[in-house]
Amino acid sequence: MLRTITDENFNEVLNEGMPLVLDFWAGWCGPCRAIAPIIDGLASEYDGKVIIGKVNVDENNEIVSRYGIRNIPTVMFFKDGQSVDKQVGAAARSAYVGKIEELLK
């Protein structure tokens, strides 16, 4: 299940004890819209194993500033509450799957 991550719920989600994948996006971003079906599909595929969420960069300045997001889409990967990897720019589904599988090791 795809989750909406905000400045208000981020720390709670980060500390849920599951790997976390965050898609930083905006409605006006073409590449963000292009990868949205991939992210949505991965959220269903990895439901119960990994939390996959979307962060609207126009509405959540604290998270964006905290992680220095300057380009979107940026997809960040967290394990044990720490950022361990990221993908800047749109990528193929296989790139995201590979990084998610690394989180599960």
Positions marked active-site = 29, 32
Determine the angle formed by the axes of helices 30-45 and 93-103, rounding to 10 degrees. 50
User: What kind and span of H or E run contains 97?
Assistant: helix 93-103
**Residues 78 and 24: beta-carbon distance below 8 Å:** no
CA distance 97 to 77: 11
Within 8 A by CB and 6+ apart from 66, the residues are none
